Structures are given as structure tokens and as C-alpha cells.
Amino acid sequence: MGRTVNIAEDIKAVLHFYQSLGFDRLPIKTVTSKELRVTSKKKNKSFEPRTPNSELSSSRVTRHASRDKEAALAALREEIGDCQRCKLSKGRKNIVFGEGNPGAVLMFIGEAPGREEDIQARPFVGDAGKLLTRLIEKMGFKREEVYIGNIVKCRPPQNREPEEDEIRTCLPFIQRQVEIISPKVIVSLGRISAQTLIGTKTPISRLRGGFYEYKGIPLMPTFHPAYLLRNPKDKWLVWEDAQRVMERLKDK
Ligand code: SF4
């Protein structure tokens, strides 16, 4: 009886988890009876019902960043100063340097600050940011345990995409942040970030779902949270990418 109650609670927790990510149905795929038998055999060895990834936070996160990394990031911020190196400086209110744990094992790199980010001088704080924060938490991390940055640090006018000259000029800064933080896995958010870091023009719909390498670090491209706000049905795909990232972090 106790076991039945536990299973019911596990199912309830999983349903609640998917609901909190904004899903209104479960990602159930039809399996053949043969697949089912194989899966059952594998699972019998190690299956433990649990809410997704509850142990990652404590076992894989470097909670206290080294002072060296913190100092290196502070020095880089100082070097950027009141940057006027590209034309995005003209319309911005604030430079959005990036934030999070300098010793993070997981780093998210988006495209550019939006309106709210420009006002607050913080990355991913608007509606898309709230969705990203929910994803991070469902992956087993607190937002402050990961590091979040963008390819360019100033808001493009009318939220247009950053142009090639702007990306080229600003890119060394996020590259240095990656070098300093040296995460175990990078997740790039959206087309611009993935194409810039991988060095390709392949569409994001074809890039996502598999790992690439950026300076020796595994990089998982996935959709930008702003895209997900417009296309909520694709949240499943991002969750699949996130699960691959969680698996990779367990292996590290
Ligand atoms: S986007 Fe980057 S390079 Fe351009 S002004 Fe801002 S900080 Fe400088």
C-alpha cells in the first residue's frame, strides 16, 4: 500500500513539474512491445522514481567560485568600461555584462539584451528570462549557480538581431568570459548564439539536439526562450536538449 502511495505521489510530482514548465500535455511517444521489453529490462537494474534531477544541484555545482575567476571577471568588466567600440553603444541604457557563479559548471549564452535587460543591466530578466529561469530550476540548479551571458552586451535598437560587425566587435568579451569560467557544458540560446559559437550558417532547427564543441567545451544549441514564448509547442524539444545536458554533466 505504501509503495502504491509513493508511486501516485511520484506521478503527481512529475505532472506538476511538466505543468510548471508550461506544458498542457505529456510527451508520450508510442513504443512497440519489443521496445517496451528492452526498456523494462534496462530499467529494472537501476530505476528509482524521483522528481527530475534533484541531485544534480548538490553534486555537480561548484558553489563557491574561486576568487581568481571572480577577480578575472571583474577585471574584464573594468576593461570593457563605458564601451563605445560598436554602434550598439548609441542606443543602450546599460551594458549587460552577464551574471552568475564565476565557477559555474553550466553556462547559458543568448543573443543580446532586450528592453528589460537594458533597463536592469541584467541578462534574461524579461518574460523570456523567466522562462529560462524555470528551465534552469527544472534542470536542478538555482539561477545563481549557473552563469548567463549574451553574444553582444548592448541592446540592439527595436530588438533587431545584432549585425555581423557588432557581433565581431563584442565577441571577444564573451569568449574571455567562457575562458575564465571554463564551464563543463555551454547551452547556446537561439540562432545567433549557436551560429556564432559554432561558426556555421546552419539553421538552429537543424543544429539543436546534438552536442558541438566550443574551445573544447561541449556546446548544446537550443531554441531561444523568446522563440518558445511564440512557439510553446517546441518547449518539448528544449526540454529534450536540457535532459541531454543534464546527462552530460553527470558524466563529467
Ligand atoms: S555591444 Fe559590446 S562592443 Fe558594442 S558597445 Fe556594447 S559592449 Fe561594446
The amino acid occupying position 226 is: A
Mutate to test the pocket of ligand 1, among 83, 87, 111, 118 (most ligand atoms within 8 A of CB): 83
pLDDT at 74: 98
Q: Is there an atom of ligand 1 within 6 Å of 86 CB?
A: yes
pLDDT tens digits for range 148-185? 999 999 999 999 999 999 999 999 999 999 999 999 99
Q: Is there an atom of ligand 1 within 6 Å of 171 CB?
A: no
Do 228 and 165 sit in the same domain of this protein? Answer: yes
pLDDT tens digits for range 4-46? 545 555 555 555 555 655 555 555 444 343 443 333 343 333 3
Question: Vertex 188, ends 171 and 234: CA angle to 5°?
Answer: 145
CB of 55 within 8 A of CB of 125?
Answer: no
Residue 8 or 115, more confident: 115
Alpha-helical (H) ranges within the chain are 2-20, 33-46, 56-60, 67-80, 115-120, 127-138, 164-181, 191-198, 204-207, 225-230, 235-251
CB of 132 within 8 A of CB of 225?
Answer: yes
Do 28 and 129 sit in the same domain of this protein? Answer: no
CATH no. for residue 147?
3.40.470.10
The Cβ-side half-sphere exposure at 251, using a 13 Å CA radius, reads: 8
Question: Average pLDDT, stretch 113-141?
Answer: 98
Cell digits of residue 82: 563605458
- Dmax (CA) for the chain in angstroms is 67
- Ligand 1 atom nearest the C-alpha of 89 is 5
Do 173 and 233 sit in the same domain of this protein? Answer: yes
Q: What is the Cα–Cα distance from 75 to 65, expressed in whole angstroms?
A: 15
169 located within any domain? yes
CA-closest residue to ligand 1 atom 6: 154
Do 23 and 107 sit in the same domain of this protein? Answer: no
Do 116 and 7 sit in the same domain of this protein? Answer: no
**Which sign, positive or negative, has the C-alpha torsion 220, 98, 126, 201?**
negative
Do 223 and 203 sit in the same domain of this protein? Answer: yes
pLDDT at 59: 44
51 located within any domain? no
Percent of the chain residues past pLDDT 90, beyond the cut: 73
CA-closest residue to ligand 1 atom 4: 86
Q: Distance of alpha carbon 30 from its chain centroid, rounded?
A: 29
Q: How many domains does the chain have?
A: 2
Q: Is there an atom of ligand 1 within 6 Å of 76 CB?
A: no
pLDDT at 8: 58
Q: Indicate the Cα dihedral angle 80, 214, 237, 235, nearest 10°.
A: -10
Q: What is the mean pLDDT of the chain?
A: 84
Do 134 and 37 sit in the same domain of this protein? Answer: no
* Residue-number span of the structural domain to which 11 is assigned: 2-46
Mutate to test the pocket of ligand 1, among 78, 80, 88, 165 (most ligand atoms within 8 A of CB): 88
The Cβ-side half-sphere exposure at 44, using a 13 Å CA radius, reads: 6
Cross-sheet strand order for the sheet of 217-222: 99-100, 147-150, 106-110, 185-189, 217-222, 212-214
Do 72 and 25 sit in the same domain of this protein? Answer: no
Do 60 and 42 sit in the same domain of this protein? Answer: no
Q: Backbone phi, then psi, for 23, in 5-degree steps?
A: -80, 145
167 located within any domain? yes
Parallel/antiparallel/unpaired status of strands 106-110 and 147-150? parallel
Do 42 and 64 sit in the same domain of this protein? Answer: no
197 located within any domain? yes
Please give the DSSP secondary-structure letter assigned to residue 161: P
CB of 174 within 8 A of CB of 149?
Answer: yes
The total number of residues written for the chain in this structure = 252
Do 40 and 68 sit in the same domain of this protein? Answer: no
Do 108 and 8 sit in the same domain of this protein? Answer: no
Mutate to test the pocket of ligand 1, among 87, 151, 152, 164 (most ligand atoms within 8 A of CB): 152
Q: Is there an atom of ligand 1 within 6 Å of 109 CB?
A: no
Burial of 137 (0-12, 13-18, 19+ CB in 10 A): middle
